[in-house]
Structure 1
Amino acid sequence: MKDQKSEIIYIGKAKNLKNRVTSYFRESADHTPKVASMVEHVYDYDFIVTDSEYEALVLECSLIKQHQPKYNILLKDDKGYTYLCFSEEPYPRLTVEKNKKKAGTYLGPYMSGYVAREAAKEANRVFQLPTCRKRFPEDFKKTRPCLNYHIKQCMGVCRGCISQKDYAEVIQQAKAYIQMGSTDSVKRMQEEMERAAEALDFERAAMLRDRIAAVTKAGETQKIMDAALEEADVIAMAEHMGTQCVSILRYRGRRLFDKETFFFQENASREEVMDSYLTQYYEHHRGEIPKNIVLEFAMPDPEMYEQLFTNFAGRRVHITVPQRGMLCQFVQLSRNNANEELAIRFNRTGREVQALEELGAVLGLPQPPQYIEAYDISNLSSTSMVCGMVVFENGRPLKKAYKRFRMKEHVTQDDYACMKEALTRRLKHYLAQDEEGFSRLPDLILLDGGQGHVNTIAPVISGFGLHIPVFGMVKDQKHRTRAISSAGGEISLSANRSAFHLLTQIQDEVHRYSVAYMHSIHVKSSYQMELTKVRGIGEKKAQKLLLRFKTLVNLKQATLEELETTAGINRTTAEELYGVIQEMTGGNSTG
């Protein structure tokens, strides 16, 4: 797709290109804001016919990389990279560097500075490399060894007892450890230790034995991969407030080697975002494609993607979507990283982001629900029938948006009818735009009840021409959250801990809010009945008094003149009313 300046603004592929292109220009097309904006700027288009879907995928990837069209999902890579540097000096040091200005041998780049720092810290500790500022061999034996030497965190180069050749060998072992992981390093040092023992060089053999023990212990703290997967990228995705975060954990030598995250703000499906991410990322990193790519969810035609990445890497690449077992734990770890990155960006907690992700996935929603409304009916023996509405925005209560409904049409105990009345009034307010707080539609409606409540409310929503997902919150015999109810049955949340906690919090909050409102209505009704016992005070005058003074404390402090004016009564009636009020509040009438 091209604009009036003949600049390419979008590149896409399709099995049937005619149907794909014409779909953009139908009058009734329900486009996302991004696609609608693109269509407005399309002035011309061009196409290339290929022999297969695979060729189309390769060509699309290449052209997007070349032209960087405005309306494609683009992999924006503007972050700095971190390197591990072995300095160029007689006794090299291992440090973390942001660039390659210093002379030395570099490993990397590492996308995650944290991972690079942890790798350097671990290698320095395992191989007891010096981290002080002394210069060698100039500073040999000038001062005593530091504390690190005495606690066996440094080999004590400053003592001058280690030859440059032996130190260089240790540096090579440290490089191999960083590049290949603990398994290969231990294997190589094991062979060296056996050769030293055969040569009767027991001092060297003992040193290698201790080093093997240190490497093995450090390796145990790493997340160990399945033995069948020597190297893999584990990729998962999270979404919050219209922003998607893709996290990639890179495992090499069966240990965590690096981490990288990318953010997108696209009104597109998870599959579309992942498709663009995978093709562009591995196009940029052809030399770093591992043997295995582990994905959170299946892509359409995974064999085609395997062929593409195999072509990029020049060797066989496998794509795996685990359903159970150890690999699922690694996928969850990657997803947790994505959730935490989003939480930092939006000043939320990782649990809140993860809860919305899980809830949206379990309920089959296209996106995590950011704005949730929950409803609960409360009454006391068929009196004081009320409905409470609470709102959760981005996983937190939005108390300024809470609403209360006092039943007008149904004053008897009928939860279904009362819930229907409350939702009908709420949606009428939305269509009329006549009250603040009702102008926004929720992404999800939760009802305190089961399948019957859902079947009652779903037709109400569709009757207004709206499409809002509706589910019920089911409790057990102990009044605790048990499951979610849909029109087709119940959905268990036991396996989704964060979503379960969020649902419990919502259900407890809406119950608390509706019961509190019911009690306040019941108390006011009781007081109103007491006021109507005074001759000349009817329901309307009693209601005026309660609305004017709001609390009994204020009502007790009211003067006779205020009672006369508010209720529109004479002095004699006001004096009688004053006495009743004092008795209601436990006071004494003073005339």
Structure 2
Amino acid sequence: MDNPRLDYLRDKVKKLPFQPGIYIMKDKKGQIIYIGKAKALKNRVSSYFRSVDKHTPKVYRMVENVWDFEYIVTSSEFEALVLECSFIKQHSPKYNILLKDDKGYHYIRIGGGEYGKITASHQPLKDGARYLGPYLSGYVVKQTVDEVNKVFLLPTCNRNFPQEIGKQRPCLNYHIKQCMAPCSGKISPEEYAEALEEAVSFLKGSSTQIQKVLTEKMIQASENLQFEKAARYRDRIRAIQGLQENQKVVSIRYEEEDVIALVQSSIKCCAVVLQFRDYRLVDKEYFMLDEMGEFSEEALFSADEQKKNQAAEKVLQEMRTQFVLRYYDMKGSVPKSVVLDGQPSCQQELEEYLSKKAGRSVQLLIPQKGDQMKLLSMAKENASQQIAEQTRRTSREISALDELARLLGLQKVPNYIEAYDISNIGSETIVAGMVVFEGGRPLKGAYRKFSVRSVQGKPDDYASMREVIIRRLERYSQHKEEGVGFGHLPDLILLDGGRGHVAAVKPIVQQMGFSIPVFGMAKDDRHRTRTIATEDGELSVSSFRSAFDLLTSIQDEVHRFSITYSRQKHASRAMDSVLRSVEGIGEKRAKNLFLRFRTLKAMEAATLEQLEETPGMTHLTACNLYRYLHEKTNEACGEETEN
């Protein structure tokens, strides 16, 4: 690292106390670039200046710019939390999680004219339309506009009325009863205006009041024997009632609560907040975050998987705490309960801080099952979708990789995964296949095949796997300047096998100086991924549905790839044995024939000229092969074979 002050900073750390407090990192100009809190200042601050090359990119950049630091000792971790929050708000350091409420205002637009439409708008214009608002949430505006158009059967198409009435057939929305189809010419301006005003009243008032008005109109129309009109009112009432039921989504325990979930990809982290008020979803917000966490030196080089898992979880806990603090500092108001997708770094202190800010009790909930978990799943899906839009990946792929990182306790989401499988047909054909998944998708251009050389006689999966991994990592040293193929180190290595495979391979990886996580994939009786194997035991994947599907895909693909190569190799050996019994065909000619025709059947179907065109073949050798394959009169060669 190009920081001439590292030795000075390491010496200064030695003088820090083992007490709670905050630390303030400054750059060469004396500007504050990062503020953090610590339960024990010496332990926390020293972690920044040890093993700096192992830090995440953002932490590395921050440490690279640290010229000096200050600290303030507090009497408790809670005081450190409050002080950290206050300082971050005051100084806005560039490497802290900083959130901006820059959504602006949103409006609902009611178009003018005989057939005005209801749409969402970012700002009111002087265009003769009516505007309702402003609203802070664009999500709420869009959701409300969609709902009211469906309930009152108002058009959402791009057709202009009355100019285009009768010129085209009604669209699909009419046939699925989501539009009254003024384009058909059967809806008068008066009927349309009535529906539009009812919709505006619904937007301005409560649904209970509009239901009462519609019920009165339905009864009056029925008494006047206007049964078709009465039916339309009845359908609107039912639509409003159905809308109220659908808005519940899933039942929630509290009148008001926020549901917060964080999802990570290899390059992005997204936090989503679902806001529930009056037992219904009223808003959704998302924030793209930069990660700010690191492993301790002990965790990085420990062979203990439990320590690594604990270190990875600690990073997530810190990120969760920082986001909650920044979010409610920005918002000002705090609901009665906040549902989180995991433990924050200091739950008791955070709960106390939020309660003090709200002036009443605030609960932090971390559900493990039930309806609250369904809400968290919905929040995670939304976060995954936001990352997918920015990384051109599907939300399913993002969720799977995020779950896999959590399951394995990895420091970062494994974007580049290599999987290996050994396949053998007898003792003579032992091969291995390596498949690569990048961003949750197969990267077939990076697939590689290996012929195992060191294992002779009885097959030995462990020895075969060791040989393959050694050869792969040695190739990295030769190709690392290229940065692709063997020159690209994986974020994760998966072996098709159990604890024994991991125990055989993991020490080799560490001895060669690589800190790549290694796990096994064990199958059940149905050949599906059952568990993830470690040196010490197994991890169940049953509760990680997206990760389970991804692991199954990887294991199926690496098995398919290796068994296909094994069969090709076996077929090649069998063909080689057959071909080399023909006079004039040796190892090289046999190999060229196999590469061109692949099977004996294809070779039998070939003409003498096609056999002769194979590299290395002569006319005489081609004739010998043709006679051997056909065992009948060979007019092309001008001779007759013996029966």
Q: Same fold by TM (over 0.5)?
A: yes
**Secondary structure of residue in 2 paired with 1:106:** strand
Of 89, 93, 99, 1:69 maps to 93
Task: Between 401-410 and 424-433, report the one with greater CA deviation.
Answer: 424-433
Q: Does 1:41 align with 2:41?
A: no
1:23 offset after TM fit, Å?
Answer: 4.0
Of 264, 281, 292, 1:256 maps to 281
1:389 offset after TM fit, Å?
Answer: 0.8
- For 1:124 and 1:577, the matched residues in 2 are separated by 80
Instruction: Name the CA shift for 1:215/1:559 in 2 (closer, same or farther; >3 Å).
Output: closer
The alignment's C-alpha RMSD in Å is 4.2
- For 1:380 and 1:126, the matched residues in 2 are separated by 65
Contact conserved, 2:450 with 2:468, CA < 8 A, in 1?
Answer: yes
Q: Which residue of 2 aligns with 1:182?
A: none
Of 494, 501, 518, 1:453 maps to 501
Instruction: Name the CA shift for 1:483/1:86 in 2 (closer, same or farther; >3 Å).
Output: same
Of 348, 351, 363, 1:303 maps to 348
Q: Which residue of 2 aligns with 1:499?
A: 547
Instruction: Name the CA shift for 1:445/1:153 in 2 (closer, same or farther; >3 Å).
Output: farther
Instruction: Name the CA shift for 1:231/1:212 in 2 (closer, same or farther; >3 Å).
Output: farther
Instruction: Name the CA shift for 1:105/1:549 in 2 (closer, same or farther; >3 Å).
Output: closer
- For 1:535 and 1:225, the matched residues in 2 are separated by 78
**Secondary structure of residue in 2 paired with 1:525:** helix
How does 1:501-540 map onto structure 2 within 5 Å?
501-533=549-581
- For 1:93 and 1:24, the matched residues in 2 are separated by 58
Amino acid at match of 1:495: S
Q: Which residue of 1 aligns with 2:248?
A: 223
Amino acid at match of 1:98: H
1:407-457 deviation digits (Å, cap 9, x = unpaired): 111133222221121112112222344796212221221222222222221
Q: Does 1:16 align with 2:43?
A: no
Contact conserved, 2:498 with 2:522, CA < 8 A, in 1?
Answer: yes
Of 427, 438, 441, 2:473 maps to 427
1:285 offset after TM fit, Å?
Answer: 0.6
Task: Between 246-255 and 513-522, report the one with greater CA deviation.
Answer: 513-522
Q: Which residue of 1 aligns with 2:328?
A: 282
- For 2:72 and 2:548, the matched residues in 1 are separated by 50
Of 369, 373, 396, 2:414 maps to 369
Amino acid at match of 1:362: L
Contact conserved, 1:85 with 1:107, CA < 8 A, in 2?
Answer: no
Amino acid at match of 1:341: Q
Instruction: Name the CA shift for 1:64/1:486 in 2 (closer, same or farther; >3 Å).
Output: same
Task: Between 323-332 and 360-369, report the one with greater CA deviation.
Answer: 360-369
Instruction: Name the CA shift for 1:419/1:232 in 2 (closer, same or farther; >3 Å).
Output: same
So what's the TM-score if we normalise by structure 2?
0.73
1:235-259 deviation digits (Å, cap 9, x = unpaired): 1111112210111111111111111
1:81-105 deviation digits (Å, cap 9, x = unpaired): 42447999xxx99763313667866
- For 1:401 and 1:433, the matched residues in 2 are separated by 13
Return 5+ residue gaps in structure 2 as ranges: 1-24, 162-179, 224-229, 294-314, 598-602, 639-643
Of 503, 513, 531, 1:465 maps to 513
Identical amino acids, percent of aligned pairs? 41
**Secondary structure of residue in 2 paired with 1:9:** strand
How does 1:180-219 map onto structure 2 within 5 Å?
186=208, 214-219=239-244
Q: Which residue of 2 aligns with 1:181?
A: none
**Secondary structure of residue in 2 paired with 1:590:** coil
1:146 offset after TM fit, Å?
Answer: 8.8
Q: Which residue of 2 aligns with 1:240?
A: 265
Return 5+ residue gaps in structure 1 as ranges: 135-144, 178-184, 568-573
Instruction: Name the CA shift for 1:585/1:247 in 2 (closer, same or farther; >3 Å).
Output: farther
**Secondary structure of residue in 2 paired with 1:299:** coil
Amino acid at match of 1:283: D
**Secondary structure of residue in 2 paired with 1:46:** strand
Contact conserved, 2:181 with 2:187, CA < 8 A, in 1?
Answer: no
Q: Which residue of 1 aligns with 2:297?
A: none
1:495 offset after TM fit, Å?
Answer: 3.1
- For 2:27 and 2:341, the matched residues in 1 are separated by 37
Contact conserved, 2:318 with 2:344, CA < 8 A, in 1?
Answer: no
Of 507, 523, 532, 1:484 maps to 532
Amino acid at match of 1:261: Y
**Secondary structure of residue in 1 paired with 2:564:** helix
Instruction: Name the CA shift for 1:579/1:108 in 2 (closer, same or farther; >3 Å).
Output: same
Q: Does 1:440 align with 2:488?
A: yes
- For 2:152 and 2:576, the matched residues in 1 are separated by 83
1:80 offset after TM fit, Å?
Answer: 4.3
Instruction: Name the CA shift for 1:507/1:556 in 2 (closer, same or farther; >3 Å).
Output: farther
Q: Does 1:110 align with 2:137?
A: yes
- For 1:355 and 1:479, the matched residues in 2 are separated by 20
**Secondary structure of residue in 1 paired with 2:581:** coil
Q: Does 1:59 align with 2:83?
A: yes
**Secondary structure of residue in 1 paired with 2:470:** helix
Amino acid at match of 2:581: K
**Secondary structure of residue in 2 paired with 1:411:** coil
Instruction: Name the CA shift for 1:25/1:482 in 2 (closer, same or farther; >3 Å).
Output: closer
Task: Between 381-390 and 122-131, report the one with greater CA deviation.
Answer: 122-131
Contact conserved, 1:130 with 1:155, CA < 8 A, in 2?
Answer: no
1:38 offset after TM fit, Å?
Answer: 2.2
1:118-152 deviation digits (Å, cap 9, x = unpaired): 21343466589999999xxxxxxxxxx9959x999
Instruction: Name the CA shift for 1:100/1:420 in 2 (closer, same or farther; >3 Å).
Output: same
Instruction: Name the CA shift for 1:349/1:473 in 2 (closer, same or farther; >3 Å).
Output: same
Amino acid at match of 1:441: L
Contact conserved, 2:97 with 2:326, CA < 8 A, in 1?
Answer: no
1:321 offset after TM fit, Å?
Answer: 0.6
1:296 offset after TM fit, Å?
Answer: 0.5
